[in-house]
Amino acid sequence: MRVCGNTDMAFRDQSRGQTRVTEVSQTFHRSSDPYLHAVECVTGSPEETEALAARLAGQLRAGDVVAVSGELGAGKTTFVRGAARALGVREPVSSPTFTIGHRYDAPVPVAHLDLYRLAGIDPEEWGDLEPYFDGTVAFVEWPEHGGEWLPDARATVTLNHVDESHRQVKIDSEDDLGL
């Protein structure tokens, strides 16, 4: 399966103001912010979203935080599942909506937080959250609810509904993640 390779997929790479071609059928535009690397594509199935996440996962290291935004059903947990699998997580990866987070064993441990139910973070709540970021690659759904407490994200993923089976996936980073 090719990610971002179908003709109905738009794939854009903005790289320090310069366009660069990485796949034949992609379309590109220049970044308005020359210091931000942004990749954007439309996936046609959950598996394609997982495969794109796996590509991002290959660039991640211990201590990295990935913010995953988008409305309910946009595919945030699907994206995290694909990344976690690629990082070596073998357990089922499900939404931690009814707990604040999961921590999975893997060569580099993986944390998966869902802050949907948080109205705001106070120091006590941060005390509960902080261990999830210790030595992990941490994925955070609803990062907006974490406010200023969250560590800076190495990458920000934004998912949007296109139709039943298509999602627009945008990945922003200050680093060139080579996606």
Q: To the nearest whole angstrom, how small is the minimum distance from the Cβ of residue 18 to ligand ADP? A: 29
The token pair at 73 is: 């059903």
Contact call for residue 166 and Mg ion (CB under 5 A): no
**Of the ranges 9-17, 59-67, 71-79, 127-135, which one interacts with ligand ADP (CB under 6 A)?**
71-79
Coil, strand or helix at 77:
helix
What is the C-alpha to C-alpha distance for residues 19 and 21, in angstroms, rounded to an integer?
A: 7
What is the C-alpha to C-alpha distance for residues 155 and 4, in angstroms, rounded to an integer?
A: 19
Going from the C-alpha of 20 to that of each of 11, 16, 30, 48, the distances in angstroms are: 11, 10, 10, 22
Contact call for residue 95 and ligand ADP (CB under 6 A): yes
**Of the ranges 20-28, 75-83, 100-108, 122-130, which one interacts with ligand ADP (CB under 6 A)?**
75-83
**Which listed option, ligand ADP, Mg ion, none, makes contact with residue 49 (CB within 5 to 8 Å by class)?**
ligand ADP
Phi, psi of 27 (to 5 degrees): -115, 150
Handedness of CA 37, 178, 93, 138 (dihedral sign): negative
Contact call for residue 146 and ligand ADP (CB under 6 A): no
Output 95 or 160, the one with its CB closest to Mg ion.
95
Q: Which residues lie near ligand ADP (CB under 6 A)?
A: 43-46, 48-49, 70, 72-78, 95, 141, 165-167
Q: Which residues lie near Mg ion (CB under 5 A)?
A: 76-77, 95
